[in-house]
């Protein structure tokens, strides 16, 4: 990606669950207008359908990987880091991370959520989520999911991640923020 970034018109798109208003809602306005002028906006609607299903797809991949680590009968304790719709904002509108949390919980996982910036009262009111007030101490989780690359989370090193995940656990990096972080040999890694 470094070489691509040297090009003047390169757009550095990053992986992750796409929420917010512009991409999450505005394409439906365009699709509606397209239909009014007699065009069926298949590409726009197909893109929305794929994006709307990514949280469930991602949760399924995480579940499968955890089942392999824990055994089919065991459900894991999961910590999701970040619930805002994008990094370094507190805005929860149209966040797709909630869909991921709900899908993991529906598969039987105990899910805790921390967001360094989001308002806990809003998260409770809009989504019924009880955000952790602070990051837990001790290796309590079978899986840690980096869902939003707030600066606080992107700054984690291998030691900070290892302090959250059990030996033999899994670190899931949805945003590619920990690509260069060295993890212990006993911690699995999953990137999207």
Instruction: Give me the catalytic one of 1, 14, 21, 22.
Output: 22
DSSP 42-99: HHHHHHHHHHHHHHHHHHHHHHHHHHHHH-TT---EEEEE--SSSTT----TT-SHHH
Q: What are phi and psi of 98, to 5 degrees?
A: -60, -40
The phi-psi region of residue 74 (left if phi > 0; otherwise alpha if psi is between -120 and 50; otherwise beta) is beta
Residue 22 is a catalytic residue = yes
Catalytic residues, by residue number, are: 22
């Amino acid at each position: 990606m470094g070489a691509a970034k040297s090009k003047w018109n390169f757009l550095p798109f990053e992986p992750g669950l796409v929420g917010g208003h512009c991409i999450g809602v505005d394409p439906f306005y365009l699709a509606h207008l397209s239909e009014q002028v007699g065009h069926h906006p298949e590409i726009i609607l197909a893109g929305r359908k794929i994006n709307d299903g990514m949280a469930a797809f991602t949760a399924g991949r995480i579940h499968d990987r955890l089942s392999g680590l824990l055994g089919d009968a065991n459900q894991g304790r999961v910590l999701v880091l970040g619930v805002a719709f994008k990094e370094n904002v507190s805005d929860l509108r149209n966040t797709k991370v909630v869909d991921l949390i709900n899908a993991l919980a529906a598969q039987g996982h105990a899910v805790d959520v921390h967001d360094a910036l989001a308002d806990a009262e809003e998260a409770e009111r809009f989504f019924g989520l009880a955000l952790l007030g602070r990051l837990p101490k001790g290796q309590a989780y079978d899986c840690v999911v980096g869902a939003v690359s707030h600066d606080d989370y992107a700054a984690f090193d291998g030691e900070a991640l290892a302090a959250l995940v059990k030996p033999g656990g899994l670190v899931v990096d949805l945003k590619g923020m920990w690509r260069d972080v060295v993890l212990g040999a006993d911690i699995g890694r999953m990137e999207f």
